[in-house]
Every structure is written in C-alpha cells, then in structure tokens.
Structure 1
Amino acid sequence: MVKQIRVLAILPYEGLKEMLVSAAGQHREICLDATVGDMEKAVEVAGERMETAKYDVIIARGGTAELLRTAYPHMIILEISVTFDDIFRAVLLARNYNEKFAIVSLPAIAKRAQEFCTMLQYDIEVYAVNTEEESKELLENLQKQGYSMVVGDMINAKLATEKGMNVVLIMSGKNSVEAVLKQAVQLLAIKSRETEEKDYLKSICDGAPWYITILNRQGDVLLNNVKNSGESERYAEFLKENLNAYFEQEIFHMERRFGREYYVVDSKIIEGSGGEEVVIYGRLSAWRFLRIPEGLCLLKRRTRTAIPLKAPSGSRTWWAGPGKLC
C-alpha cells in the first residue's frame, strides 16, 4: 500500500484549483482536498475542514498562506509561488490593451513584481497593500490619476472590478503547481523516515531492562516505556517528586525509597525541541520495603530474603544490621 500525505488546498480561483487537482492526480502519494476560498474566509475554511479530517499539509497562495501560518503555527503551510514567468504573462497581456495600468497586490506578490520590473527595467508602478481599506483608497487615487487597469492578485482584482476598472489576474503557472506538489512528496518521504526511526527507537525502549522516561521542566511526561498503567502512574509520580534535582546537574544519580519500593535512577539533561528535557533511566532495586509487626524490613525480590530494619529511639533513620544505612 502506498503511503499518502493528506493535503488541504485553499486556492484563490477555480482555474488554479483545477490545475492543482489535475497535477495531484499524477502523484499516488498525495491525497488532496482542494477548495476555492478568498483570503478573508481562508482561516475559517481551514478550521472547519480540520475539525472533520486530519491533514499533514495546507497549500495556499500569497496572502492566504501568510494568514494561515499565523493562525495555525503548528501546521505546515506550503505556498504556491508567483514566478517571474507568471508576472511576465500578466504584464504582457495588460500591455496588449493599451491602457494605463499599475500592479497592485499583497506584499509577497508585490515584492516579486517589483523585482521583475527592476530586472527588466519596466517603468510600471507597483503598489503593495495590506488591507481592503488600503486597497480601496489606493484604487480611487489611481483612477483619479488616469489608471483604468490593474494587474494584481485575486483580492485586488476583485476590488478593482467593483470600481469599474479592467483587471488582469496574476495567475500561477503549471511549474509553480508542480513545485509545491514536489515539496509535499518530499515532506512525505521525510515524515516516513521520521516515523520509521521513531518506531525503531520505541521498540528499543520497550525492550529495554530499564524504565526510560523523558520529562520537560514542567514535569510533562514526553516518553515513558513502563507498560503497566498503574505502575507507570506511580513511577511518574515518584520522578516528579524529584524533578528539580534532575535539572540541577547534567548527569544525576539517585537511589531513593518511594512507598514500598526502592528505585535506582540515573538521568541526563538533553536539548529537546521545546527546550531542556531530561532522560531518566530507572529500575527497581533488588530490594523492597515491607512493613511487619515489628516495624520495617527489606525484602529481597528474588530470594524473598528479609532483613529487619531498626530505628534508634527518636530517629527516622532505619538500619539493616550493623553499619548498613537504609
């Protein structure tokens, strides 16, 4: 069975959606859910889709991609780029109409358009706008200056049309679509390798003769190979009691009683994705504590040998025979 990467695409116009769907059909690794939506509704649309399905990647263009990155920082957002070829096609088409035109778009595309005009020494005014209000005000001023046409992205083309101006939409070409799908396939390969490595390490941890636990500074359990849920909870509680001690030294060793058990623990500080974490290697001691009518005794697990413990009057320190501190 071919592994697939689930992709949600929110696109500015129907033609781009059709192109993406067609191109994605050539990649068995891609499971695509594509929809057309303007920038204002993109965040809402993405939220609704992600409530009912799980996606690995979101594909969008220009300002929509920027909005989604801000709204969903945990998601991978791939952007369909606007190339010099895309801008050149739009400018060439606009020139055929012999009308005074300017390029108006959101900053990402405007920056690319300015680089294009500078490189080819085209005397074309390029304007970057951030909001609809800013765009409306600019378009009114352009009309007063004799401009009758706008070359721009979807949202500015729509606003220009509402003001009675002619528009040429800067459309992404096939190369841009293929490039973003290639990125998605590469991400799938990386994700597959990471999953395989994670499963491999988990199998090693699960088969290890020690308890292996990773905690962050807040005491959150990031990894734990203790299989029995009740035992896992007790052990995690024991580890959290000594949380500060693990982060005081890069390498730490401790042997301590917790309830009826006696644990031997070694830990090492590592740098995780969210900051400092600590890897803790623990095991139960060969001995455990057992309460008897006379007080406490140490019970050896395998042989069931018991050593009575005595505490001097008024002391909380227990002794297992002469000179052996427990």
Structure 2
Amino acid sequence: MVSAKISLIAPYEELENLAREVVKEFTEPIDVRLGLLSAGVTAAERAIESGAQVIISRGGTAEEIRKAIPDIPVVDIRVTGFDLARAMVEARSIGGRLGVVEYPGIMEGVKVFKEMFGLEMMEAVIYSPKDIEASVSWLIRNGVRVIVGETVPVRIAEKYGARGVLIRSGREALKEAIEEAWRVWQVRLRDEIKMQQLRTILDHSKDGIIVVDEHNLVTFFNSAAEELTGLKSRGVIGKDAETAVPEVFKGINSNEPRSRSVVETAGRHIYVSRVPIAVGERSGGAIVIMQDVKRIQKVERTIRRQLADRGLSAKYQLSHVVGRSPKIKDAVTIAERFAATDYTVLIVGETGTGKELFAQGIHNKSARANEPFVAVNCAALPENLLESELFGYKEGAFTGARKEGKTGLFELAHGGTLFLDEISAMPMGLQARLLRVLQEKQIMRLGDDRLIPVNVRIIAASNKDLNALVKQGQFRDDLYYRLSVLTLHLPPLRERKEDIPELWAHFAERCSRELGIGPSPLTSGMEMLLFSYDWPGNVRELLNVVRRYMVITASGLSGAEEWLASALGIKEYEPEVEREQGLVKSMERRAILSVLKEVGGDKKLAAKRLGISQTTLWRRLKELENRTEISG
C-alpha cells in the first residue's frame, strides 16, 4: 500500500465525512483522520509516522498542530465567503444578538462580511484554545445569544445556554486546501532532493565540513570531518561547536566575517576556514571547511604540474645508462646510493658525459619519483631572466611582466627536484639568493614581500671545477659547500672506450627506429677509428656521429670508413683493402726469406718449394729489394 503524503485532520465529524468524499476526486492517496485540538495533534503525529509530509486542518486544530510539530507544513482549510454567509444566515434566523469567536485569520473575513452587509455583532479574537471559554463567557455577559465560530466555541456556548452556529467548510474549500497541500508537498520534495544532493556532495567531499546554526550548534558533520578530527557525528550534532570540536573552533575567530587558520587535531595539521551564512541581514550560522595540509600541498603540486608545459617530468632511469666498464658501473652504483637520501647532489663531468641523465635517474630512484622534476640551464639565460625564472614574480613587478604574474621554477618543483645545470655560470648575486633558499627553504617572488615555503631537492651539475672557481673568487665557497654534500664524478668517454661498441649499437638502434631503416653494425676498421679518437665531446659527440652516419649510409654511402675518418678529423688513415694488401705482401716476404734460408740461398730449389717458377721468384725478389734492403 502506498503511504499517503498528505493527511487531512478534520476537527468535527461532518467535515471528516465530507473530506472522505472529496479526496476520491484526486488520483493520489490522501489520509483523512478525525481530531480536535490536542486530539488533532495526536492524529497528525500518527499520520506523520505513517509517511505523511503535509498536514491539512482548520482553525484552532491547525494552530495546535503547527505549534506542536513545527517541522511539518500545515495547510489551513480556508473559510470562504460562502461558508461565512451560510453561518450568518443560519445565526440570524435564530434571532438575538450575534457574536463571533474566531482566530485572527478568519476574523479578518468576518469583519469584511460585517461591513459589507451592515451586520451588528460582537467579535472576540482568540489566539489559543485557552482563550475560548473566557471569550465566549464575555460575549454572553454582554448580551450575545448566538455564538458563531469553530467547534469548541459552539460547544461552550451551548454549555452556557446560548445557541451555537458552526462555520462549516464546504466542498470547494476542501478542494482548494488539498490542491495547495499538493503544491506544498511538491515544493518540499524539490527542496528535499536539493538538500539530499547537497548532503551527498558534502558527505562525499574530501574536505571536512561542519555546519553550525546561528547559536553555534553543530547541524552537520560529514564523514571527512570525522576522519580528520577522530570524532563521530552522532557525538557532535546538536552540541555547541566550541565544546564539541574545541581544537577546530578555538583556532578560528568567529567575529571575523571570514576566518582562516592552521590548527592541529588528531595529530594532523589542518587548514580551517570559516564562511558565514547570511539570510538577508540575519545570521544563519556558518560553514567551517577543514583541509589536510598535506593534501593541499599535493593538490598544489598537481596543479603546478598541469599549469607548466616544460621540464616537469624525468623520463630517464639509472638503468638507462649504457656501458659495462668499471668506471661507469661505479658511477651508477654511487648514484643509486645518493638517490636513497634527500641531500643535495653535485654532478661533475665534462660536457656530454650524461649529467642530466644521471640527475633524472637519481630523481626517479628517490622518494620524490612521483613529484615534479624541473630542469634549468643556468648558462642559457641572462641574470635578470634567470632570476625571474627561478623565483617567479608578482603582477606588475617590472615593465613587461605578465599581468597575472608568474610562478617560478622553485614553486613548480615543490615536493620534487630542481636540476640546476651548469651551476658554475650562475651570477654571484643569484648564488646568494640560492644559498638563502637552501638554508631557509622559502622563496620570495620578485616584487613581492610574501615568503612562500618550498620543499625542493637540489641537484646541481657543472662541467668546471667548482673548487678551483672558489679559489679564483668566481664561485661562493658557502654555496659550494652546500651543493657538494654528495658529489658524483662522471668519467669522460676517453676513459671508458671499451663502452664505445655498446654505445654505438644502442644509438644506431635508436636511429634505425627514428629513420625507419635497418641497423648498420660496426666494422673492425670503424672500431679501430673510434678507439683511436679522444672524444672531447664525449657521449653526446658519439651520438651525433652515429646520427650523421646513419643518415648518410641510408642514402647508399660507400666507403664508410673513409667518411668516419674524415668526420673524426683523422688524416693518416689507411683503408681496409690497402691494409689487407700490405698484410699479404708482408706475409709473402717472410715466407720467401724463410725458404731461402732453409735451402741455403738456392733460388731454383726455393722456387720449387714455393710452387712458383724461377722467373716469378726473381720478380718477387726484385719487388722486395725495392721495398726492403735484402739481397739474394
């Protein structure tokens, strides 16, 4: 059975019977009950327990229900002009002086009716059932013989010997009340849906949300607030906020329109903000929003990563380092140990030795791997531009500054790693600012006076000897000592030439994929050339040579060794064919001399042993004489 959303409480039996007839004209079920005053309140409470959400009643009974159950809307069965007219005609037909006992709402209609028809009658306005008997008694003492009004005044009038005329509600009044009740229910339903949507949103918010009323009593306490404070909503709802949640509410100033503070509760640092609720000029309480400081920092880092379009991720791992030589393997092992700490790292190595690859590898091996990796080349920017890149600037900080200001690289790297390449090129003035950031872990944007805390690991790199620069007065000694807590030296390629074949194969395979061509393996002659070269540009130079070689060989180059020798600037080079011919002649010379020695210089016997004619032997010996100092 579908529960009725509307219940009609009739104060008298005649109205109950009429209501049962009228509700049949409506498609939705409507509950009808009998109850006068307090009995009507009881009937309404039972109807609400059964699912009623709107109550219909009239007169004093409606007022009593409204007072007793303030959270449920009560629709009055309005007394129409026809209802009053019927009652007045009936009262005048009885004869005698008329009196009306009614609540203010109905009495207004009575006064209009009285003036319209020039009726003589006395009026007694009642505000509660307690006023009824005194009002009826007063009218009777003043000569009133017929009392017009609700059920109770009529009964009391008859008790005092007067006549009573009931103002009856007609069919139209009942229909109007029911239609109004349906409108009220629909509005209430929409409000409940909106409220439930809001509650669902608030309850599933990751922010803790507490709502207090104008008396500072807690009316809402979501699950996130429970998790942040360690308290349960059932122990907080309805209680004074400062008593129930003292750590949160004593940390904010309720006198300020919008108060913000960081408080500690349940072992966490919580950012708390209070937003007042205003209904017109009246206070409707406030909403208090709580956020875990760690989560705020994480969200900030995410936003910073999304807003920036450069240098915010490290793609290389230490496992990407190519080579098996002892020196490069030692460098990788040391880098892995450094990654396990959070100390500043200084990477020292010649140009092209892979300093940024190692920096990214250390970052990706560290506890900051899921945070930003931001790289900047200190030698690539002039001092003023490098400063604004590192620290950012406030709106209008200088001519040409962005209107909205700019976030610096330190802020973008918050929580992660900032890689300062070619740190030796950083101007002395900026070195002082960098030192302060390392000491205080705070930065200040250009043109601003606000300090911004940053949590950044610094990895610096240099292709110059910073210690020597310190002695020359070109680098701050205090900054050098800060940066060189952990120092990683990368070997140049000339000190690990045994890795060249593996590096060549690695780069050649990469270029093959990029160019869509087959691999081009090294020849023995090419290896000899690569080993004979000192590689001042190190691995980067080797990569560039491989790229040029792959592009040229893809177009059908012949004489690869000659090209490689030319590319490396090697002038005294003997092609492989010539080397092979020279090797054959050298072997031939040794064979002829050996046989001649064995036969005591007998050329005829030597020719026979060598399997050649004497003429051929004489010609070969002549050639050898021209090349070396030998005699027959």
Confirm or deny a common fold (TM above 0.5): yes
Partner residue of 1:285 out of 294, 299, 309: 294
SS at match of 1:94: helix
Aligned position for 1:106: 102
What amino acid is the match of 1:128? A
C-alpha distance 191-47 of structure 1, shift in aligned 2 (>3 A) = closer
C-alpha distance 234-94 of structure 1, shift in aligned 2 (>3 A) = closer
**In structure 2, what is the Cα distance between the partners aligned to 1:216 and 1:40?**
31
**In structure 1, what is the Cα distance between the partners aligned to 2:213 and 2:157?**
53
1:142 aligns with 2:143: yes
* CA displacement at 1:270 relative to structure 2: 2.2
**In structure 1, what is the Cα distance between the partners aligned to 2:62 and 2:39?**
12
Answer yes or no: is the 8 Å Cα contact 2:207–2:289 preserved in 1: no
Answer yes or no: is the 8 Å Cα contact 2:208–2:226 preserved in 1: no
C-alpha distance 36-101 of structure 1, shift in aligned 2 (>3 A) = farther
* CA displacement at 1:64 relative to structure 2: 2.6
1:262 aligns with 2:269: yes
Q: Percent identity?
A: 23
**In structure 2, what is the Cα distance between the partners aligned to 1:24 and 1:232?**
52
Calculate the aligned-residue CA RMSD, in Å. Answer: 3.9
Answer yes or no: is the 8 Å Cα contact 1:17–1:36 preserved in 2: no
Aligned position for 1:275: 284
| Larger strand proportion of the pair | 1
**In structure 1, what is the Cα distance between the partners aligned to 2:230 and 2:133?**
54
Aligned position for 1:197: 194
Partner residue of 1:86 out of 83, 102, 109: 83
**In structure 1, what is the Cα distance between the partners aligned to 2:368 and 2:231?**
19
Which structure 1 segments of 5+ residues have no match?
288-299, 306-320
C-alpha distance 278-247 of structure 1, shift in aligned 2 (>3 A) = farther
Aligned position for 1:317: none
* CA displacement at 1:90 relative to structure 2: 1.7
TM-score of the two chains, using structure 2 as the length reference: 0.40
What amino acid is the match of 1:136? S
Which structure 2 segments of 5+ residues have no match?
126-130, 237-243, 298-366, 371-414, 416-437, 443-452, 454-632
Residue by residue over 1:95-133, the C-alpha shift from the partner in whole angstroms, topping out at 9 and shown as x without a partner, is 445x224133224334422220102223x3132153213
**In structure 1, what is the Cα distance between the partners aligned to 2:40 and 2:58?**
11
Higher-RCO chain (CA-CA 8 Å, sequence separation at least 6)? 1
Whose radius of gyration is greater, 1 or 2? 2
* CA displacement at 1:175 relative to structure 2: 1.7
Answer yes or no: is the 8 Å Cα contact 2:34–2:40 preserved in 1: no
What amino acid is the match of 2:265? F
SS at match of 2:26: coil
Aligned position for 1:58: 55
1:247 aligns with 2:244: no
* CA displacement at 1:2 relative to structure 2: 7.9
**In structure 2, what is the Cα distance between the partners aligned to 1:118 and 1:217?**
45
* CA displacement at 1:185 relative to structure 2: 0.4
**In structure 2, what is the Cα distance between the partners aligned to 1:269 and 1:249?**
9
* CA displacement at 1:322 relative to structure 2: 4.5
**In structure 1, what is the Cα distance between the partners aligned to 2:38 and 2:203?**
48
Residue range with higher mean Cα deviation, 266-275 or 151-160: 266-275
Residue by residue over 1:14-68, the C-alpha shift from the partner in whole angstroms, topping out at 9 and shown as x without a partner, is 111122233233334454241132x46545x358637955542333222332333
**In structure 2, what is the Cα distance between the partners aligned to 1:115 and 1:248?**
50
**In structure 2, what is the Cα distance between the partners aligned to 1:217 and 1:64?**
31
C-alpha distance 215-155 of structure 1, shift in aligned 2 (>3 A) = closer
**In structure 2, what is the Cα distance between the partners aligned to 1:82 and 1:90?**
11
| Larger helix proportion of the pair | 2
